[in-house]
Amino acid sequence: MSPLALLVERVRSRSSAALGAQPAEPAEAAPLPEEQARASDRLTVARVRAQRRPIALFLYLIGPGIIVMLGENDGPSMVSYATTGATYGIGFFIPFILITFAMAFVVQELTARLAIATNCGHARLIFERYGPFWGRFALGDLVIGNALTLVAEFIAICAGARYFGIAPLVAVGGAFAIVVAAFALGRYRLWERVVIGLAFGNCIFIPAAFFAQADPHAVIDSLGSLGTLPINGHPALFITLCMANIGATVTPWMIFFQQSAVVDKGLTRADLGQARVDTALGAVIAAVAAIAAVVAASPLFVHHIDPASLSSGADFASALKPYLGNVGSSLFALGMIEAGLVAVMTISTSSAYAIGDVSHRGASLNLQFTNGRLFYLTGLVSVAIAAALVLIPGAPLLAITLTVNVIATLLMPPALFFLLLLINDRELVGDLANGRLANVAGITVIVLVASAGAAFGLMTAFPQLAPR
């Protein structure tokens, strides 16, 4: 048996011990405190399943999929969608966004299945399976992307708060306090419920879109506009927004977060169906909210307002006020605050999961601070650094938020490649390995994301090659 298989077997043995089964080795008999908390949650699930209460069971089991999808509708993403609506109106990008969320579902379903099969975090699997070099490479990919994205999230929070006249220091301090309070809960289940409640606030963009009074027929007709590319003599802008919209739906942190969250929640093979529905439901809700942001910003396109003159979410809300009214523009600004806050909570947790996992120092929201200092400090320090950087005046805010999503797209192919390798490792995942159709879907996503990155790179290096 390979070292990785031994690792997986040890983790499974410890989980079994926490649930009262006989462990394979005496040394593994005593469950850790975080495993005891997880076992308590699993006993509740077992009781509800035995009582044949499918709705209650589903409500107990949902979480990671909805959180990861709505968490990715973050500040930079909503600014990207708003910029798209302001630049191109209702048309090509609405079906394009639906495709990107279909891609996100493919990626995150693989992630959930890999978590259930191995009961290990993503970062640790890469280290154990492919060695320290590739493990550090993947971890670096995550850390760089997360650091940049956290800065952009606080930009979104400050932008939304500025619309209401709230000073940046107050907005940043309040967001940081909420993150600290959530970490202080000391239980994964409580943290998950808090974040889900906040994440559903992403739906606030839906009523904002209704205030735009867009033609419903135009929105429906746009679903057939995918073959019409709205380049309009600006191919670099079109490719950049394509990249930003892809980066708004598929990013490395999502893989690391959902895999660890599924493990932390204690999902098993019996829960795979609910995990898939959880992920699909999250993708649908997030796609609707994303399209709503495009529609809400489309009056700027109709009235020829140049989005390049808007530097942040607050400027978008202010620019939309004549067309959405006080209520609609206020909803838009509130949505920016919510999007940034939820993303700060989830992205910082993905970093904490990864660092805690590879260091073997604990990676669970069930940990008490005394037993999980590295885990909690990783999350809190990353948030504190990003918050401090945002308070530095004079940053080009819109450029940063769009660039973050572009960078996320460029960083995604290596993360997808590792995910596909792991989910096809039958020694590791057994009968939960990919079938032919799942591999075709996964490879298609990698090709599409890599092609978008290659096109952006070529146009940046050789602008004369851009189509006119």
pLDDT at position 13 over 90: no
pLDDT at position 403 over 80: no
Residues 6+ apart with CB under 8 A from 242: 96, 452
The 10 Å Cβ neighbour count of residue 46 is 14
pLDDT digits (tens, 9 = 90+) for 26-67: 445 566 777 777 878 888 888 888 888 889 888 889 999 999
What would the mean pLDDT of 215-233 be, rounded to a whole number?
77
pLDDT at position 329 over 80: yes
DSSP structural state of residue 271: G
C-alpha 379/C-alpha 125 separation (Å) is 21
C-alpha 247/C-alpha 104 separation (Å) is 10
Categorize the per-residue pLDDT at 223 as very low, low, confident or very high, splitting at 50, 70 and 90. Answer: confident
Q: Which helix (H) or strand (E) holds 44?
A: helix 33-50
Can you give the pTM of this predicted structure? 0.86
Categorize the per-residue pLDDT at 461 as very low, low, confident or very high, splitting at 50, 70 and 90. Answer: low
pLDDT attached to residue 293: 92
Of residues 84, 156, 121, 128, the one with CA closest to residue 315: 156
Of residues 343, 336, 258, the one with CA closest to residue 71: 343
pLDDT attached to residue 343: 93
pLDDT at position 402 over 80: no
Q: What are the helix and strand counts (H, E) for the chain?
A: 19, 0
Amino acid at 307: P
pLDDT attached to residue 181: 94
pLDDT attached to residue 410: 74
pLDDT at position 396 over 90: no
**What domains does the chain contain, in order, with CATH numbers?**
1-52 (no CATH), 62-465 (1.20.1740)
Lowest-confidence region among 6-15, 365-374, 418-427: 6-15
| Alpha-carbon distance values, 307 to 26, 79, 142, 168, 456 (Å) | 64, 10, 30, 23, 21
pLDDT digits (tens, 9 = 90+) for 64-108: 999 999 998 988 888 889 888 888 888 888 999 999 999 999 999
pLDDT digits (tens, 9 = 90+) for 116-172: 999 999 999 999 888 999 889 888 888 888 888 898 889 889 888 988 999 999 999
Torsion sign (Cα): 99, 100, 103, 109: negative
Rounded to the nearest 5°, which phi and psi values hold at 70? -75, -30
C-alpha 105/C-alpha 72 separation (Å) is 12
Q: Which residues of 93-111 are buried (b: 16+ CB within 10 A; e: fewer)?
A: bbbbbbebbebbbbbbbbb
C-alpha 225/C-alpha 336 separation (Å) is 28
Q: Is 165 helix (H, G, I), strand (E, B) or coil?
A: coil
Average of per-residue pLDDT values in the chain = 84
What would the mean pLDDT of 199-224 be, rounded to a whole number?
88
Categorize the per-residue pLDDT at 11 as very low, low, confident or very high, splitting at 50, 70 and 90. Answer: very low
Q: Which helix (H) or strand (E) holds 90?
A: none
